[in-house]
Amino acid sequence: MAKTHHDETALVGRDVQLSPWNSALGLGTTPVSAGDGTTGEAAPDTARIAPPVEGGSEKGTRDIPRVQAATGEAQAESQSQASVEGTDGRQAGPGLLLRFSNLKRIAAARRQAPIWGNVRRRLVSLVVGQPGIGKSQYLVQGGVAMASGRPFGGYVPSGAHKVVILSPEDEADILVDRIEAMASALGADMEVLERNLRIVHHDDSCVLFEPGPNGAKMTDVGRSFFAEVEGFGTDVVCLDPMAELHRLPEMDNGAMHELMAKLRTRARAGNYAVVLAHHSVKPDKGDAPPTIHTARGAGATGASIRHADVFSELSKKEREDFGITDEAAPDYIRRDVVKSSYSRRPGRPTYFKRVEVPVNGTTAPALEIVALTKKGR
């Protein structure tokens, strides 16, 4: 690999690092610059795109202008000067990246099993809940399960996958304690976890997207982050919480649709899944079950994703039915699958209980599924 240097002006001191999960500070990979090719390995000029196209440089692929790490968009100059042919041999038109293909070609090129539950490559999922309800705990423990290949939450991962967790609200050492507790609760192989799990730390804010001419644009931190993610060969990116990662108007449907589209573009470019933790609206006073509209902000947020879970506390009726005291109630949460575009939604919620696991001379929480039954049964 050619000798490289770090362009100090590219990120203005705002580098992002992926650290081995059990290394609290500063032991991650070398920072990658904002897509200028001056640090790390140079990105190829083209990306392999499926479905297969006759005449590509390799059978089953076609070279098109690579999605730039610096912008998340195809090179505008290349698009404006070239016409892209559809896979049936017709031109799609100047500057367009439309691809026409038959079903067999698409299926052969892209069919992949879900990674865990309904977490799928190239798609964005939501984990929704009130602050402090346990959505972050579920997201991180799900990340540990996917990185170690251990069952959790009623789902069995398809294997041990490479996972990146970005959680700017948590101090790295506290997050490490939580991960150790969760790994212990899951019976995870620590060597496998060390190879596959990375946490992100940053000295400043972790804003990945900000307002731009077309609704949303990637920041310097965002460019560095996604370059690191794709350099690691990531399978799943866990982002918590969504509100910390952008500076867009949350009630603006256009802005939120653009944000989800940008995340989906990165997921497709890197062939990984994105799972977002997102806050919910204030809970209703009644016992009505949550829906996709429980997600806070513009409706485009929930409309743009293909799977969403909502976490909430037990209702008064549930506490009475299950014989759970007010004192014990905070230890229990429920998960409702409110959107599942590619599989049947369960007809009832799943219940979890928080447990404390000894770690490093103290304790840290983990979640376990519990089977709650009504009194008298």
Q: Taking the CA atoms of 242, 226, 70 and 118 in sequence, report the sign of the dihedral they define.
A: negative
Instruction: Show the tokens assigned to 356.
Output: 């404390």
Q: From the CA atom positions of the chain, what is the Rg in Å?
A: 22
Burial class (CB in 10 A: 0-12, 13-18, 19+), 137: buried
Neighbours of 238 (CB within 10 A): 28
User: Do 307 and 125 touch, CB atoms closer than 8 A?
Assistant: yes
**pLDDT value, residue 51:** 35
- Provide DSSP, 292-328: GGGBSS-HHHHHT-SEEEEEEEPPHHHHHHHT--TTT
Domain spans in the chain, listed from the N-terminal domain onward: 124-370
**Which of the 8 DSSP states describes residue 100?**
-
Neighbours of 362 (CB within 10 A): 10
pLDDT tens sequence for the chain (377 residues): 443 333 322 333 346 667 787 764 333 333 333 333 333 333 333 333 333 333 333 333 333 333 333 333 333 333 333 333 333 434 444 555 566 767 776 666 566 789 999 999 999 999 999 999 999 999 999 999 999 999 999 999 999 999 999 999 888 889 999 999 999 999 999 999 999 999 987 667 789 999 998 789 999 999 999 999 999 999 999 999 999 999 999 999 999 999 999 999 999 999 999 999 999 998 776 678 899 999 999 999 999 999 999 999 999 999 999 999 999 999 999 999 999 999 999 989 999 999 999 998 999 999 999 999 998 76
**pLDDT value, residue 58:** 36
For 20, residues 6+ apart whose C-beta sits below 8 A from its C-beta are: 27, 28, 194, 197, 198
- Beta-bridge mates of residue 208: none
Nearest-angstrom CA–CA distance, 23 and 26: 7
- Beta-bridge mates of residue 340: 307
In the CATH hierarchy, which fold is given to the domain comprising 124-370? Rossmann fold (3.40.50)
Q: Beta 163-166 vs 197-201: how paired, if at all?
A: parallel
**pLDDT value, residue 17:** 66
